[in-house]
Amino acid sequence: MRFDFDVIIIGGGPGGATTASYLALAGYKTALIEKSEFPRFKIGESLLPYSKGPLEEINFWQKLESKYIPKFGAKFFSHANDDCFHIVFEKALTEDHPFAYEVQRQDFDQQLLDHAKSCGATVFQPDEAIGIDYDDHSVTVRTTSQTMTAQFLVDASGRNSMTAIKQSHRHTDTSLSHTAIFGHFKDVERSPDKFAGDIIITVLPNLSWSWVIPFLDQSSSVGVVVQSNDFRKYKSNPGGLFWQKISQCNNLQNAMKQSTQSKDFDVVANYSYHCDQLAGHRWISVGDALGFIDPIFSSGVHLAISSAKYASKHIINCLSEGSTLITSDAKHDYEEKIRKGFRRFRWAIDLFYSSKFEEQMKRVMTNEQIRRSFTSLLAGDVWSEENLLFRLNSI
């Protein structure tokens, strides 16, 4: 049977573009369908050090050096006092992933999608997938402009979770019912040393928190995350709630004192969800189409890039063996691998939202082995079995 492509990917964000790069570099005829014009604004601007591996494998990591500010760690502040917990990535279990980058997503996503094209992927943009049909031998995708066939489909449709929603596999995580309010600002105060690019997280009252992500051009992404119930009374004035939360921490308020807003506020509510099935007959999901937990530890883009790597590996194996995902061990292996990464990040997120986070962080910082293990987790090394935290907590 003849196909238009070996693999069709729906979605051109980091998960889709990374998958397209892997498959095209492996010599497979790959199509990517992206409904939006690029560049387009996107949240999720802080990369993790362990994204370096996949991005190096597709020859992309080196393209980031001159464009983005390096991030050597993360600083955690408390609104209640001047305590600062500084996690430095080079002090993890291994020292071979000492930094990542803070990226403006409209630039990063465009750059990564262009890289997928340079690897040999065919990109249809703007074009929207409106229908998917499977049979024993192929998948057919209908878009707003054409119909195409392939052996496999990759769902990288992000929060749309096209495959999961169609099959009723996606569920909102009601235990993480949060709303984020964020904008961009010029001249937010930052550290004058090599740690100028470190993300700053401030723990605020009532299970809320803020982020400050510095960029190379002296602008910063600043956001606050609140309980969705608390947001409702400010629904018509999200900026009012933003500034109220900023005022709850002296360090944060002082850092923002000389700043000017350069991008209007955006709001994203109830963004945490999970999917029951991550792969099936001739399809596999990557990135936010798999699920999303919480932005506190910047796991979103990292899980997208990492899932793209593992999905590509399984697709390449299936294509070379002539098997389908549902009749091979690939489906089970892939789902177990991805769920393990989500589970370990979720453990850290639950710790953050517990009432004992600051107390636990003090213990973390005074025990070298635990500190190194926690640092590795925050760097994105969530698949290592050498991490003491994973063994102690059976995750």
Task: Please report the pLDDT score of residue 307 as a whole number.
Answer: 98
CB 102 within 8 A of CB 213: yes
Fold of 178-269: D-Amino Acid Oxidase; Chain A, domain 2 (3.30.9)
Query: Residue 204 has what pLDDT?
Result: 93
What are the domain boundaries of the chain? 7-68+103-171+273-353, 178-269
For residue 326, the model assigns a pLDDT of 66
Three-state SS at 116: helix
pLDDT in tens, 311-328: 999 999 999 988 777 666
Q: What are the angstrom distances between the C-alpha of 175 and each of 72, 172, 227, 228, 288? A: 31, 9, 10, 11, 18
Taking every pair of Cα atoms in the chain, the longest distance, rounded to a whole number of angstroms, is 67
Looking at residue 393, what DSSP letter applies?
A: T
Work out the mean pLDDT of the chain and round it to a whole number: 93
Q: What's the whole-model pTM score?
A: 0.95
Name beta bridge partners: 285: 155
Dihedral sign of CA atoms 303, 309, 312, 318 in order: negative
pLDDT along the chain (395 residues), means of 10: 93 98 98 96 95 98 95 93 90 96 97 98 97 92 97 93 79 88 96 95 93 96 94 92 95 94 92 89 94 93 98 93 74 93 95 84 90 97 95 93
Q: How far is CA 245 from CA 186, 212, 226, 240, 327, in A?
A: 19, 13, 9, 9, 51
Beta-carbon contacts of 306 under 8 Å, excluding residues fewer than 6 positions away, are 50, 51, 54, 341, 380, 383
Cis omega (within 30 of 0) for bond into 126 = yes
pLDDT given at position 160: 85
**Residues 329 and 314 sit within 8 Å (Cβ to Cβ):** no
| Tokens read off for 369 | 């082995």
7-68+103-171+273-353 to CATH, choices 3.50.50.60, 3.30.70.270, 3.30.420.40, 3.40.50.10190: 3.50.50.60
The pLDDT of residue 363 is 85
